[in-house]
Amino acid sequence: MDEFSMKQEFELSVGYVAKRCGVRVSTLHFYEQKGLIYSLRNQGNQRRYQRETLRRVAIIKAAQKLGISLDEIQQAFAALPDKRTPTADDWHQLSTKWQQKLNQRIEALTRLKDSMEGCIGCGCLSMSNCPIYNQDDVLADKGTGAVLL
């Protein structure tokens, strides 16, 4: 690919991408700093993005709504060959993996919610038997009273 063709691929301004994706320009700069999206500079030193950046940002936003961290998203993107944008098949694989993590989080939150029942009545967060603050009574060997202070 010649230099002219490559520059034509990077034709979207940062303002256009931000508006189309519903994010702030600073968000795009942040994503670029994290290696989640890429740009080139034109002769006026302005950022220019490829059209596929729109899909990358959409995937980032969807993953974040699922509670996926930017580091996890970056690792997933880094695993793609030649920094390409995820395809529908890639998204299926990513979402399956992330769905497993989401199910684990749901299970952990359900256990936490269920363990709150004892605290609803007394509200004391007892150091000796609080299932939230002192799970499995790990502080028992530290003595009585405010041992964490």
Decide if pLDDT at 6 tops 60.
no
> Which residues form the domain of 39?
3-115
Chain segment 69-117, per-residue pLDDT in tens: 999 999 888 888 777 778 888 888 888 888 888 898 899 888 878 776 6
According to DSSP, the residues that pair with 50 across neighbouring strands are 10
| Average pLDDT of the residues of the chain | 79
Decide if pLDDT at 5 tops 70.
no
Three-state SS at 10 = strand
According to DSSP, the residues that pair with 13 across neighbouring strands are 48
Same-domain check for residues 50 and 22? yes
Same-domain check for residues 22 and 72? yes
Chain segment 51-62, per-residue pLDDT in tens: 999 999 998 998
Same-domain check for residues 99 and 52? yes
Please tell me the predicted confidence (pLDDT) of residue 30.
96
Same-domain check for residues 79 and 146? no
Given strand 10-13, what is the order of strands in its sheet?
10-13, 47-50, 40-41
Given its phi and psi angles, is residue 49 left (phi above 0), alpha (psi -120 to 50 degrees) or beta?
A: beta
Please tell me the predicted confidence (pLDDT) of residue 140.
60
Residue 16 belongs to domain with CATH number: 1.10.1660.10
Same-domain check for residues 127 and 66? no
> What's the number of domains the chain is made of?
2
Decide if pLDDT at 35 tops 50.
yes
Give per-residue burial for 102-125: e unless 16+ CB within 10 Å, then b. eeeeeeeeeeeeeeeeeeeeeeee
Chain segment 114-139, per-residue pLDDT in tens: 776 655 555 555 555 565 655 565 55
Q: What is the 3-state secondary structure (H, E, C) of 11-80?
A: EEEHHHHHHHHCCCHHHHHHHHHCCCCCCEECCCCCEEEECHHHHHHHHHHHHHHCCCCHHHHHHHHHCC
- The answer to whether the pTM exceeds 0.75 is no
Same-domain check for residues 78 and 143? no
Percentage of the chain surpassing pLDDT 90? 30
